[in-house]
A and B are shown apart, each in its own frame.
Chain A
Amino acid sequence: AQKVTQAQTEISVVEKEDVTLDCVYETRDTTYYLFWYKQPPSGELVFLIRRNSFDEQNEISGRYSWNFQKSTSSFNFTITASQVVDSAVYFCALSGQGGSEKLVFGKGTKLTVNP
């Protein structure tokens, strides 16, 4: 069975602080894909990043960075110099091999960035 755990239910920071959102996953597949989605109050889920299981390179996109470590089954997300517009619920998700259309979501972490 596949599982995604986001242990942090809610995080509150002050603007310009760095913040890391944790994601731990479980899967028996050798090929799998990990995702992060952002859900602002408007409701739409916005795709942020996809990583496949063979690519452990960390990625940076502006203030966002992702740390993928297969040894610890983790795919953590860091926002540097957070801004109020980063306030949202962030979901980590996993899709396994075999072409299944099913995406397994974590429970989400609600991030509040205060001015």
Chain B
Amino acid sequence: DTEVTQTPKHLVMGMTNKKSLKCEQHMGHRAMYWYKQKAKKPPELMFVYSYEKLSINESVPSRFSPECPNSSLLNLHLHALQPEDSALYLCASSPGVQGARSPLHFGNGTRLTVT
């Protein structure tokens, strides 16, 4: 079983909906990541939180809004998405002290479909 838990596993939403993706880890990791993965493509980094502060935003559109309420939780708030935002959204964590030099622990992802 993965140590990074993502909910929901599947989400279908309309372009006017507001929804949130959730991610939780209890490994004491201090860095958490959101990745987006389109079919047959590698994961693309969206956001990084390090010690609960946003450290990287890869020029992601504002319709995606991350939030890190505490060191164990990471949310991704979605609003007014477009059909091209349909993808697998992966959350990951790492110890945080070595950046991406540490292996990332990934969750199973949320498969998002925007209709």
Specify which chain A residues have a CB less than 8 angstroms from the CB of B33 in the assembled complex.
101
Q: Is A42 an interface residue (CB 8 A)?
A: yes
Q: Mark B72-115, 1 if CB is under 8 A from A, else 0.
A: 00000000000000001010101000111101111111010000
Smallest beta-carbon distance A80→chain B, Å: 23
Are B105 and A47 touching (Cβ within 8 A)?
A: yes
Q: Do A35 and B31 contact each other (CB < 8 Å), given the known contacts A45-B43, A107-B42?
A: no
B-to-A contact residues, CB < 8 Å: 2, 31, 33, 40-43, 45, 48, 50, 55-56, 88, 90, 92, 94, 98-101, 103-109, 111
Cβ contacts A98-115/B at 8 Å (1 or 0 each): 111111011110000000
Q: Which of B41, B45, B98, B103 contacts A99 (CB 8 A)?
A: B98
Contacts A33-B100, A99-B99 known; list 20 others, CB within 8 Å. Answer: A33-B101, A44-B107, A45-B43, A45-B92, A45-B106, A47-B103, A47-B105, A91-B43, A95-B101, A99-B98, A100-B99, A101-B55, A101-B56, A101-B94, A101-B100, A102-B45, A102-B100, A105-B43, A106-B42, A107-B42
Interface residues of A in 75-106 (CB under 8 A from B): 91, 95, 98-103, 105-106
Determine whether the beta carbon of A107 is less than 8 Å from that of B41: yes
Chain A residues engaging chain B, CB cutoff 8 angstroms: 33, 35, 37, 42-47, 50, 52, 91, 95, 98-103, 105-108
A-B contact pairs, 27 of them (CB 8 A): A33-B100, A43-B90, A43-B109, A44-B90, A44-B108, A44-B109, A45-B43, A45-B106, A91-B42, A91-B43, A99-B98, A99-B99, A99-B101, A100-B99, A101-B33, A101-B48, A101-B100, A102-B48, A102-B56, A103-B100, A105-B42, A105-B43, A106-B42, A107-B41, A107-B42, A108-B41, A108-B42
The prevalent SS among residues of A at the interface is loop
| Complex contacts, A98 vs chain B, CB 8 Å | 99
Cβ-closest chain B residue relative to A50: B103
- Residue in A42, A52, A95, A107 whose beta carbon sits within 8 Å of that of B100 in the complex: A95
Please measure, in the bound complex, the distance between the C-alpha atom of A52 and the C-alpha atom of B41, giving whole angstroms. 25
Contact A42 B108, beta carbon cutoff 8 Å: yes
